Amino acid sequence: MNAEPLPNTAPRADLVPFRRALRAWFAISLQTFGGPAGQIAVMQRTLVDERRHPLGPVHLEVPELGTLRPVALGITVLAAVLIFRVKVSVLRTLGVCAAVGLAAGLTGLTVS
């Protein structure tokens, strides 16, 4: 048998050791309970700002105005106003938004 060394067997400098990464993800899992936006914020703070893990280039894009749906945007603004300005409960806000979305869909407006 010919025992040739495998190519690229040396550890790469840009990779994080498994135990260090496991500890970081365990700490993040204990801190995140606020949905996707909360999880992303905690991961950004923990991995990039505190631990300096290399994540590669990050490209954040703002959606183009042409891709926004007016009815969905209106329902979102309605929900924000009902919850934060008028102080309506979340359950009632969901009901109102569902009714508005159903009415918009029945009248032929594109909701999504």
Domain spans of the chain? Answer: 18-50, 65-106
Q: Which two tokens stand for residue 15?
A: 């990779």
Quote the longest CA-to-CA distance of the chain: 78
Query: Cα separation of 63 and 109, whole Å?
Result: 21
Give 8's DSSP letter: T
The CA-to-CA distance between both ends of the chain, in Å, stands at 62
Query: pTM to 2 decimals?
Result: 0.44
Task: Give 98's pLDDT tier (boundaries 50, 70, 90).
Answer: very high
Specify the residue for token string 């135990």: 19
pLDDT digit string, tens, across residues 14-70: 677 888 888 887 877 777 666 676 677 777 777 777 766 665 666 667 777 777 788
From residue 5, alpha-carbon distances to 8, 9, 92, 109 in Å are 9, 8, 66, 64
The dihedral built from the CA positions of residue 78, 79, 82 and 88, taken in this order, carries a sign that is: positive
Task: Give 97's pLDDT tier (boundaries 50, 70, 90).
Answer: very high
Task: Give 13's pLDDT tier (boundaries 50, 70, 90).
Answer: low
